[in-house]
Amino acid sequence: MTKILSIFNSRRTWAWPYVLFLVLFVLLPLLLIFVYAFTDPQGHFTLKNFVQFFTTNEAVNTFIYSMAIAMLTTIICLLLGYPAAYIMATAELKTPAVMAMLFILPMWINFLLRTLATVELFNMFSIPLGEGALIYGMCYDFLPFMIYPIYNTLQKMDHSLIEAAYDLGANGREVFTKVVLPLSTPGIYSGIIMVFMPTVSTFAIAELLTRNKITLFGSLIQRAFGEGGLQMWNYGAALSLIMLLIIGVTSFFGDKDETSSQTII
């Protein structure tokens, strides 16, 4: 009994339930993606699933196209979001907190419904639904994820550094490129990750925004799990593994600042 109590007393053990939970529901499932990707429905080892992907033109093209769309969306979000974050953090707004809240508030309306409303807006102005609508819709959905981390790092920035740079003779542009921009890179990194990750993996938004005219990589994965039989699961797992690889590489580059991706809270 005292032994049990002493285990409970050392608070280290309090994390054990969560560790068990993580192993069972995070690590094991990811391991299963690996297993399914390298096996056939009978459970034998095979590379067929990857061969199938790399030899299907449509699949490879969809993959490249999705990457391009995701990158373009991320760049546009960065170009639109950085100035917004900068203005919010530096300009003397009467209520900066309210402004920041206003950018988050739309997220309380279900994103599918917002996307559908965007579709209706396009219809009202008779703008055809296609690539342009897709990119607009994605930027629309994920712009707040770019603004917020950048806003956070800019706000925490030591403003006396800017004054010091001015005092030492830097002009406005130099202050921005040599002081403000380098100091805000952690926010930019996490903003890029927070926009790129969901855009490269989305499936519902593209389906709704283009009325199924454009297929993205995420939709390809979803179809492999939705409509096909057992065989498709293994193929879908292989596609998921490819996406996992991209996510891993992206987050590795963004790893420099793990803390600010948490600042979205």
Partner 1 sequence: MELSSAKIEAKKRERDIKIKRVCAQSYLWLLLLLLYAPIVLIIVFSFTKSKVLGNWTGFTFALYENLFTGYDRVAQVHVDPNLYYSLWYTLLIALVAATFSTLLGTLAAIGIFNMRQKGRKAIQFMNSIPMINPDILTGISLFLLFVFLGISRGLTTVIIAHVVFCTPYVVLSVMPRLTKMNPNIYEAALDLGATPFQALRKVMMPELWPGMLSGFILSITLSIDDFGVTFFTKGSGGLDTLSTFIYADARKGGLTPELRPLFSLIFITMLVLLIIINWRAAKQKK
β-strand partners of 39: 45
Q: Can you tell me whether residue 45 is helix, strand or coil?
A: strand
Minimal distance, residue 155 CB to partner 1, in Å: 15
Is 245 a binding residue for partner 1 by CB under 8 A? The answer is no
Residues numbered 164 to 203 that lie near partner 1 (CB under 8 A) are 193, 197-198, 200-203
Residues numbered 68 to 97 that lie near partner 1 (CB under 8 A) are 80, 83-84, 87-88, 91-93, 95, 97
Among 77, 215, 243, 260, binds partner 1 (CB under 8 A): 243
Minimal distance, residue 74 CB to partner 1, in Å: 14
Q: How far is CA 177 from CA 8, 76, 90, 109, 180, in A?
A: 53, 19, 16, 37, 6
| Rounded distance between C-alpha atoms, residue 36 and residue 234, angstroms | 5
Minimal distance, residue 118 CB to partner 1, in Å: 5
In angstroms, what is the C-alpha Rg of the chain?
Answer: 23
Among 71, 75, 114, 213, binds partner 1 (CB under 8 A): 114
Is 247 a binding residue for partner 1 by CB under 8 A? The answer is yes
Among 38, 82, 140, 148, binds partner 1 (CB under 8 A): 140
- Strand locations in the chain (E): none
Residue whose CB is less far from partner 1, 30 or 60: 30
Minimal distance, residue 19 CB to partner 1, in Å: 6
CB 191, CB 150: distance < 8 Å: yes
Residue whose CB is less far from partner 1, 51 or 101: 101
Residues numbered 200 to 239 that lie near partner 1 (CB under 8 A) are 200-204, 207-208, 218, 221-222, 225, 233, 236-237
Is 262 a binding residue for partner 1 by CB under 8 A? The answer is yes
- CA end-to-end span of the chain: 41
Minimal distance, residue 77 CB to partner 1, in Å: 11
| Rounded distance between C-alpha atoms, residue 115 and residue 214, angstroms | 15
Q: Can you tell me whether residue 113 is helix, strand or coil?
A: helix
Tokens of 166: 């001015």
Q: Cβ atoms within 10 A of the Cβ of 128, count?
A: 11
Is 45 a binding residue for partner 1 by CB under 8 A? The answer is no
